[in-house]
Structure 1
Amino acid sequence: MIKNRYVIGAITLLLAVSIAVLFIVPTFHVQQPASMAKAYKSSVFDQTKVTKVDIELSDKNLASILESPTDEEIVDADVTINGQTVSHVGFRTKGMLSLSSVAAMEDSDRYSWKIDFDYYRSEQTLDGLQKLALNNNFSDASMMREYLSYDLMEEMGVPAPSHSYMYVTINGEEQGLYLGVETLDESFLSQNFTTGDGDLYKPDGTGSDLKWISDDIADYTGLNLKTNTKSSNQSSMINMLDVINNGGKLEEVVDVDEMLRYFAANTALVNLDHYQGDKKHNYYLYEEDGLFSMLPWDYNMAFGGYGAMGGKDRPQVKDTQTKGTTEEGEAEKAQMPGGGKGGMMGMGSSSFINDSAINFSITTPVSGATLEERPLLNALLEDDENRETFNKYLKEIATGFFSEEIITEKVNEITSMITPYVEKDPTKFYTMEDYLKATTGDESIIEFSTQRAESILAQLSGELVVEAETSSDRGGGQEQGQMNPPDDSTGEAQKKGQQPPAGQGGAGPGAGGPPDMGGGMQPPSMDGGPNAQAGAAGSSYSKETLIMIGISLVLLIGAIVFAHFFKRRRSS
């Protein structure tokens, strides 16, 4: 006969297991299977076609957004992509000065949008995708700057967000051709890194230049931790800042080779609305196991778009073959998207051909700041071996992705796909004439790329020397000097604490360029809705957890029934 104490013990054990499942298991991060995590890369971001995106929301909610678009109010909406509908998603405008510029237009509501699939319903996704940005191709007549930039990053082996073209409607009305971009969040991290559960930062503000302030993370108010907000002490960030500013083993705090590939691509693209520019933003930092990676974001001003207006900080170019030095002519006047829609004056140019951008220095690849004022890039390039590797990657881009044959093939492939959608786009910022000029001919994105490739190769060989005027982003004075091709003495002099040759800390083009017009700022409210998870370790239960809870409850009920039946048999 089984004694009562054994029955009671078994029931107690099952009860303890059930409690453990209920309260302990949900705290562990269960990573999605690779097949599930990557499903949206092909189902949502199909680059072989233009995907249809239909957004439905109440007239009241739409009117509220359009009445005060810069408030970035989040409203409830339903979204259908490729025939698959996701209900009750968070929907809002997005952007910085691009948002305020469109808001100032009298005849345009072509905003960039952000969709948060799990804002109202925890863990709701679209084939694993948590959030989707719909970028309006502001300031880009070609509609390709951002698309091609992410393609280059991927080709260089840098983790980049999934992206593809999407044709958008809102309540049945056509909004036009947008670029759909995966946001950098837990879904992105889980499929691009080993664990994907490290610290993700979106720097913008105090500390985003990564200069040393103190060993107190509270002093770096602009670093903006996006994941593990309740659990991380951010000691890895302080350690990285210490090493790049004060010395140490760089390879122990950053993925050196990956960052060299990243900065080589960004330099080739002349993307100056970035860490390398005066605004020092529009990038992410991700730390896993103590090593940091830099991740690309917001490339609508790449291909020289940010510095296209020129200005007093334009470099001079010396051709060593002719020994002649000429200052560039007057910069082209900024053109307003749409040929004159309000609120855009002086904020960008639709032209790709600008000498200061094409000949942006590869020796001192910063704008609006000295190299020393960007300590992460400085720490990488002051090492001679790293500098050699950086130059190798630049040459690889110039002879590969930016070569006339390859870039022409890529652009032609894109234009054959999107041109019909550009033609029927009722809200586009530029005319078809502007679009065709930006994608074909001698003032196109193809021409920029091929001329940029020639400049990179000429700078690497020493045939082209760029003389830059330096303008500090802190409003300091100017210092003019010649920027020499990289040599062994430059890095060595910096390592010994000597002053670099005049001009080595010079600014590139666009130091007085347009304000930020990107679409990257994300208010905290969008990162966590009424039922959204807080940080990487959310308190909501996954399907696997619910199944385990159900099994435990069944076992517990079974044990109780068994005990009751056993007691009745004994009493009889």
Structure 2
Amino acid sequence: MIKNRIVYTSMAILLLLFGVMVAVLPNLGIETKNTEYSYETLVFNKSKVTTVDIEIPQEDWEDMLENAADEELKQANITINGKTIENVAIRTKGNLSLRSVVNSDSDRYSLKVDFDYYDDTQSLYGLKKLNLNNNYSDSTLMREYLSYELMEKMGLPTPAHSYMYVTVNGEERGLYLGVEAVDETFLANNYGTNDGFLFKPDGTGSDLKYISDNIADYTGIGLKTNEDNIEDSKLTDMLDAINNGGDIEQYIDVDEMLRYFAVNTALVNLDSYQGNMKHNYYLYENNGVFSIIPWDYNMSFGGFGAGGGGMGGGNPNQMRGNANNELPADGQTEENADTPAMKQPQEGQPNGEQLQEGQPNGGQPQEGQSNGGQPQEGQPNGEQSQDGQQNANRNKGNFDMGGGMSSNLMADSAINFSITTPVSGTTLEDRPLLNALLSNETYRAKYESYLEQLATTYLTEDYIQSITNNLAMLLTSYEEADPTKFYTTEQFLEGVSGDNSLPEFAKQRSASILKQLSGELVVETSATAQGNMGMPNGDTNNEANGNQMQMPDDFDPSQLPEDFDPSQLPADFDPSQMPEGGMGNEQGGKANGGPMQRPDGMGFPNQGNGQATQETGIDKSTVLTATATFSFLVAALLFVFRFNRRGR
């Protein structure tokens, strides 16, 4: 008979080996056979900067840059962390932001990579489409990243995202934010099915007001999937319910939408359904129930301007330019991320007007005007690089679009943005989905509980500071070396810590939320304050300008006089607000000035080197296997114990 000591020792060794296997094997970087959605860790690795190397015929690349507004697809090969995918489609992307860059001295365009355009069986670890966002109008480079992080923390289905350093034909293009496209792959990964209806509203119907029971009347509803079965959609039934007092729980995921609007409100993200533009969100209908999917957060943290969509903060009643100093018309799209622009809109159709010199964004700034001149030695972006070229390189100037945090992050209108009437440039009644939720006492109480959770747990100074510090350590060397960046390193670091930083915004915004919840702070709202849409008025001192234009929901920029000339907001960066010592020195680079250096050991593009590495973690299949194996070992131990007792 086997001695108990031998039996127990053997079982203990087996259990120890099991523990070592579970703890160590997932971290060895061994690629598993195939998990359908392994791109979440193999492509979007948040602990490093992913390398993206694009190889494209040089003439095609130059044509893409010269005709960026066409968004024409080009064929290319792409290598991501050493994994090469051939025969992919790539194009510039965006709409209003794209036009702004087209009409600037920069060619730093956002890009969209379509892995399965030419071969529908092709993907990158399951990923079919990748957006490379240029961080337009965000000097911190962190607003969109942080927003998605908070959405994830609040349990919302959120596109995968991480930072990526891009090269084209061996030439560095700079630091981008990679974001997963919301498409069939995203739906299957997050909802278990992509058989439903995915909508990206933007235009007529995107406010979700009830028009009729004919879905064709909602021309801006933007159906992206399952178009052939649109008659089976419950969209009009849902709209009828939220507008006319039906059972909304039958048609929408109430709890998810309350969490979404709580995060959106806390982050003062007004380039959204809650603002005048009523866009930048997805709806997914699965079995007749609608979920909401967050999208496009480079204007969060008050970047779109409370009180109407203008850049910056200040008085909500003041007329200010929007995030891009552009004049979007109702129905225009900031970006059509999922549909390549194979055909250009005709004159007279939405988005069909051509920007002429002298019209908004139509001309180049002149020397001596704001942003018009070349940077001088000693000025931001004016330093000489190693080859004697300007650090700004393709930008040719200090390309400050007025989106820098240095002037507007701590605006009172953003810090104290109302949580009871969380809309801007519109009224709560004109946003029936949000109105239907907040007019119900039970739903409002839950919405407020989510705001409290955000204000005490996630949108706190300490939590946001920990993220910005880590991102600064990860990104500073890449940001310094970025040859096409829109902003200076000082402006980037200003958002990391200090009196005008993202953590300071979190501190003051969360305090305001808690005061509003307790009744200590009452934010006055009015139809006038909420109904004004900001737009440039030709005076950089907008608060002092009494000649304010009003911009209604159906504003058409083509009605502006041809000689209308929007002002450019000047850069008013104060280097004294930069964190002491600068984060850049810790990364082996200079925070300000001097030659650009490639960061050693940071995963910079290295031709022919590097395998895709998986982020530390254990997937569901590993957990299930480990649980089953552990249960088997315990059962075996009990069996041997009982067998020994009977054998005595």
TM over 0.5: yes
CA, structure 1 residues 300+151, in 2 after alignment: closer, same or farther (shift >3 Å)? same
- Residues 1:446 and 2:503 aligned together: yes
Contact 1:88 1:120 in 2 (8 A): yes
AA matched with 1:133: N
CA gap of 1:392–1:130, structure 2 versus 1, over 3 A, is: same
2: distance between equivalents of 1:466 and 1:393? Answer: 19
SS in 2 for 1:257: helix
Task: Output the CA distance in 1 between the equivalents of 2:170 and 2:158.
Answer: 32
Q: d(CA) in 1 for partners of 2:551 and 2:405?
A: 19
1:217 to 1:342, Cα distance in 2 relative to 1, 3 A: farther
Q: Deviations over 1:258-309 (max 9, x none)?
A: 1000000010010000000000001000010111011001100001000043
Q: Distance in 2 between matches of 1:128 and 1:360?
A: 40
3-state DSSP of counterpart to 2:434 = helix
Closer, same or farther in 2 for the Cα pair 1:427/1:475, shift >3 Å?
Answer: closer
- Tell me the TM-score normalized by structure 1: 0.72
Distance 1:402 1:472 in 2: 26
Q: Which moved more, 1:343-352 or 1:34-43?
A: 343-352
TM-score w.r.t. the length of structure 2 is 0.64
Aligned to 2:59: 60
Contact 2:317–2:528 (8 Å) recurs in 1: no
Give 1:59 deviation, angstroms: 1.3
Relative to structure 1, the CA distance from residue 217 to residue 473 in structure 2 (aligned partners, 3 Å threshold; closer, same or farther) is farther
Asked if residue 393 in structure 1 is aligned to residue 453 in structure 2, the reply is no
Q: Which residue pairs with 1:357 in the alignment? A: 414
Deviations 1:405-463 (A, max 9, x none): 21111111111111111111111111011111121211011111111101100111111
**Offset of residue 234 of structure 1:** 4.7
Answering whether residue 82 of structure 2 is matched by residue 79 of structure 1, we say: no
| Distance in 2 (alpha carbons) for counterparts of 1:34 and 1:257 | 37
What's the CA shift for 1:314?
A: 4.2
- Alignment partner, residue 26 of structure 1: none
Instruction: Report whether the alignment pairs 1:36 with 2:91.
Output: no
Structure 1 residue 471: deviation in Å? Answer: 4.1
Q: Please report how far the alpha carbon of residue 342 of structure 1 lies from its aligned counterpart in structure 2 after TM superposition.
A: 7.3
1:278 paired to 2:276: yes
Residue 303 of structure 2 contacts residue 403 of structure 2 at CA under 8 Å; is this kept in 1?
A: yes
Q: Contact conserved, 2:242 with 2:248, CA < 8 A, in 1? A: yes
The structure 2 residue matched to 1:294, chosen from 292, 295, 298, is: 292
1:515/1:117 CA distance change after superposition, 3 Å: farther
**Aligned-partner residue type, residue 140 of structure 2:** S
Aligned partners of 2:215 and 2:529: how far apart in 1? 26
Which residue number in structure 2 is paired with residue 105 of structure 1? 104
- Measured against aligned partners, the alpha-carbon deviations of 1:127-155 in whole angstroms (never above 9, x if no partner) come to 00000000001111110000010000000
1:462 alignment partner, one of 504, 519, 526: 519
Q: Which residue of 2 aligns with 1:309?
A: 312
Whole-Å separation in 1 of the counterparts to 2:529 and 2:499: 34
Q: CA deviation at 1:156?
A: 0.3
Amino acid paired to 1:81: I
Measured after TM superposition, the shift of residue 365 of structure 1 is: 0.4
Offset at residue 313 of structure 1 (A): 3.0
The aligned residue for residue 153 of structure 1 is 151
Q: Secondary structure at the match of 1:244?
A: helix
Q: Residues 453 and 471 of structure 1: is their aligned pair in 2 closer, same or farther, counting only changes over 3 Å?
A: same
* Aligned AA (1:72): E
Structure 1 unaligned residues grouped into runs of 5+: 1-32, 316-330, 477-509, 517-572
Q: 1:446 to 1:34 in 2, by over 3 A?
A: farther
User: Is the 2:532–2:551 contact (alpha carbons within 8 Å) kept by the matching residues of 1?
Assistant: no
Superimposed CA distance per residue, residues 104-140 of structure 1 (whole angstroms, 9 cap, x where no aligned partner): 112x211000000001111210000000000001111
User: Does 2:373 match 1:375?
Assistant: no
Amino acid at match of 1:371: L
Contact 1:34 1:191 in 2 (8 A): no
Which letter does structure 2 place at the counterpart of 1:97? Answer: L
- Summarize the Cα distance change of 1:341–1:156 in structure 2 as closer, same or farther, 3 Å threshold: farther
Match of residue 235 from structure 2: 237
Partner of residue 538, structure 1: none
Give the equivalent residue in structure 2 for 1:213.
211
Q: Please give the alpha-carbon distance, in whole angstroms, between the structure 1 residues aligned to 2:371 and 2:438.
A: 38
Unaligned runs of 5+ in 2: 1-31, 306-310, 326-369, 373-379, 382-394, 534-549, 558-648
CA distance in 2, matches of 1:147, 1:53: 18
Deviation of residue 377 (structure 1)? 0.5
Whether contact under 8 Å (2:132, 2:178) holds in the other structure is: yes
How far off its partner does 1:181 sit? 0.2
Structure 2 residue 250 is matched with structure 1 residue 261: no
Q: CA deviation at 1:344?
A: 7.1
What SS does structure 1 have at the residue aligned with 2:113? strand
Partner of 1:485: none
Distance 1:515 1:409 in 2: 43
Q: Structure 1 residue 336: deviation in Å?
A: 6.6
How much identity, in percent, do the aligned residues show?
A: 55
Match of 1:348 among 390, 394, 403: 403
Q: Structure 1 residues 333, 71: CA separation in 2 closer, same or farther (over 3 Å shift)?
A: closer
Question: CA RMSD of the aligned region, Å?
Answer: 3.1
Q: Which residue of the partner structure matches residue 561 of structure 2?
A: none
Please, which moves more after superposition, 300-309 or 146-155?
300-309
Taking structure 1 as reference, are residues 206 and 260 closer, same or farther at Cα in structure 2, changes over 3 Å only?
same
Structure 2 CA distance for partners of 1:275 and 1:429, relative to 1, 3 Å? same
SS of residue matched to 1:230: helix
The one-letter amino acid of 1:442's match is D
Please give the alpha-carbon distance, in whole angstroms, between the structure 1 residues aligned to 2:145 and 2:204: 30
Shift in Å, 1:35: 6.3
Name the aligned partner's letter for residue 110 of structure 2: S
User: Does the C-alpha gap of structure 1 residues 262 and 185 become closer, same or farther in structure 2, counting only changes over 3 Å?
Assistant: same
Letter of the 1:39 counterpart: S
How many Å apart are 1:64 and its aligned residue?
1.4
CA distance in 1, matches of 2:39, 2:145: 17
> How far apart are the structure 1 equivalents of 2:97 and 2:83?
30
Alpha-carbon distance in 2 for matches of 1:473, 1:467: 10
Pairwise mapping of residues 372-521 of structure 1 onto structure 2 (< 5 A)? 372-471=429-528
Does the Cα contact within 8 Å between 2:38 and 2:126 map onto a contact in 1?
yes
Gap change, CA 1:336 and 1:435, over 3 Å in 2: farther
Deviations 1:18-59 (CA, angstroms, capped at 9, x unpaired): xxxxxxxxxxxxxxx996232100000001100000011111
Structure 2: distance between partners of 1:263 and 1:126: 32
Relative to structure 1, the CA distance from residue 391 to residue 341 in structure 2 (aligned partners, 3 Å threshold; closer, same or farther) is farther
Distance 1:410 1:34, change over 3 A: farther
Instruction: Answer whether contact 2:400 2:486 (CA < 8 A) is retained.
Output: no
Instruction: Report deviation, 1:237.
Output: 0.6
Q: Distance in 2 between matches of 1:511 and 1:155?
A: 36
